[in-house]
Amino acid sequence: MTRMILAIGHVPNVRSETANVEMRKELKVYENHVLVESAIDNDDFIPCPVLSFEQYTNLSDFTAECAAVNVPFMENVTDGSNQITLFVKRFRKIQSNTSKKKATMWWLPSLFGFSSQALTNWESQILTFLKQQPDKMDFTVYTLDHRGMGRSARLTCLQSQSEAPSSDHGYVISNKEWPYCFKDLKKQNLKDYSSDAAARDLTRVISTFLSKGYFDKFFLYGNGYGTIWILKMLYTLENNVTSDTNNVLNSINGIVFDQVMPLDYHFDTIDHYIQDYMKSFLRTCNSLSQFDSTCSLKFNGQDVYEWMKNVFRKVYHVNDSSLNHDFQEMKKLVTSSSSGGGGDDDNDHGNDNSSHQDGPCGLLASKVPFSLMNEMLGYFLLDPLRRNAVFAVLYRLERCSSEKDVHILYRMAQFYKSLKKKNNFDMEHEPSMTSDSLMYNLIFREFWKSDDVKNGEELVKFAEHSYLLNSLAVKYFNVFNVTSRWGSLTSVTVPLFSNKKDLPILMLHGDLDPFIPSSAAKKLNSQLSGFNHKLFIIPFSSSSTIFNSPVKNSNIHCSMQMMNGFLSNDGNLNQINTDCLNNLQFNFTGIPLLNKEMVGSSDLYEGVYVFHAIASSNVSSTTFVAVVTGLSVGYFVGLVIVVFVVVTMRMTCLNTESYRRLTHSH
């Protein structure tokens, strides 16, 4: 499957019962929460559910209104039929303090995310901002579905029915379906589903609302691709001078870029960014030991990247010239004919054919092959809430104790496989509010060096020799390949706006962002003209820093505090309080609740899982499963284990005995 996982992240097609289910969900929201009329008496907005898919614990604190706005589909075409409808939604807190200063924010999120969950995440983030907004301000937040996604003329391959629930992977388009899907898409003026067209849309919608008096000043917030959206809009305002565009430009109070995506970003090099991030993240074990010495002490101050390579040689007999055996399938896809169907590259991993040593490590390697271990660690690496598990796994792999580690590592692998299965199921069975067709159209037309990619073999070669990498570039190329290189369509990227008005721009970027290196943010900051812009690199933070920069003794993240200071002072960059940067909350021990979910213990490094014994009649074929899941041989052994627990026998003794019995049974 090819659903995007980048967070730099459509009205569902009318699909009989599924559409009815979603409508019933929204009606349930109406039943449970009284909809409050808009404070502005107008015909454009009507009350609508605060969240489109899910309910929120404190939903009664908020209200939302929605509007549909018609804009030209193609530029410079005056035909009345040349129209598309864009979906606009605005959020407010209800029962707001009338003494607070009214303010407006346009919130432009990243487009690359997971199905409807991406939309739920964006909307929940907006509610979080409204709960934590500056004390003396009362914001109304507007958001716009990008043309081609959500409820704004969603781009889809309707004729081929590739996103029908009964198709290969339900709402996810498979590699076999993409050639037929693309034949359908080519009939739909793909060049007009662009970031430039979306920028013109945004300009028109804001200009219309300004003229109707909904607000007179506003801030802009862009995350990931949302920063591209804003940059393109600013260029449009500067280079298409009319009374309306001047009015929009003069009404901007300030701009916030969070996770800065530059105009010259290219997805074909995303694997390189991830690998650089991986090395930077592993270095933090020692470089950030002054904040938490746990990791550095576990690894004795050694280079964790070198440690990892040594461990993989020890346990799996692999080195950097023989990594990622499962990429053979990707090779087949990349080198297949562009007219072929391709096939899917996400099948479950079986055992590798390489030989393994005897003992605990050999047993582990036979049940958790390198391909699965590498994939699992690559997934955890990109998750800011679980990435500390990477250190714990590497530490346990080197120790490889039958008493402490083998069953824990197997349990983690089973947890990951279950999580992956659930994510795939959710994506395949829930209507998509994003659009893979739109996202690939943007990627291949605007953010892809097709001449550099050539036949894709370089992408595969890099992925084959990389650690902890689930190659995104190769997955993207597979779609590029089976769609005849997306019809070889290209767009010209517009230059950077000149900022003649010297608009105040606050830029926030995490120094541990997996997808966009901080160097890209620094480059954009250096290219901006004027003096009224400032970049802050947020230590430890990943994507969306206003929600990923926790502070000690505060529930408001550091970047959110800094943004609130910027908003409170009408975009004055010199009055931002940065004290929170000295009180960031960071550790290598992880989140106890998530740790228990992954390993059955709150201690990632030393914890062991408490077994529960049941009978087994086929020990020889289930030996390892019995060790790592707490199964025992026969009712008598189970009774003995219960007795041991009752008399508080040390857990390590129990694990040792289980391991000895189960690895020597015939």
pLDDT digits 0-9 by tens, 71-97? 999 988 767 778 999 999 999 998 767
d(CA 656, CA 666): 18
Dump pLDDT digits (tens) for 374-407: 999 999 999 999 999 999 999 999 999 999 999 9
Residue 459 CB-half CA count within 13 A: 29
Average pLDDT of the residues of the chain: 80
SS3 content of the chain, % helix, strand, coil (to 5): 45, 10, 40
Say what the pLDDT of residue 328 is.
52
Domain boundaries, the chain: 269-488, 610-663
Give the β-pairing of 46-47 and 62-72.
antiparallel
Lowest-pLDDT range, 124-138, 148-162, 544-558, 637-651? 637-651
At residue 532, what are phi and psi to the nearest 5 degrees?
-95, 50
Decide: pTM greater than 0.85. Answer: no
d(CA 143, CA 126): 9
Say what the pLDDT of residue 304 is.
97
Say what the pLDDT of residue 293 is.
96
Say what the pLDDT of residue 611 is.
52
Residues 6 or more apart whose Cβ sits within 8 Å of residue 240: none
At residue 138, what are phi and psi to the nearest 5 degrees?
-130, 100
Predicted confidence band at 490 (pLDDT cuts at 50, 70, 90)? low
Say what the pLDDT of residue 184 is.
92
**3-class DSSP state of 86:** strand
Name the residue among 162, 179, 161, 167 with its Cα closest to residue 336: 179
For residues 508 and 563, is the Cβ–Cβ distance under 8 A? yes
Say what the pLDDT of residue 118 is.
59
For residues 416 and 597, is the Cβ–Cβ distance under 8 A? no
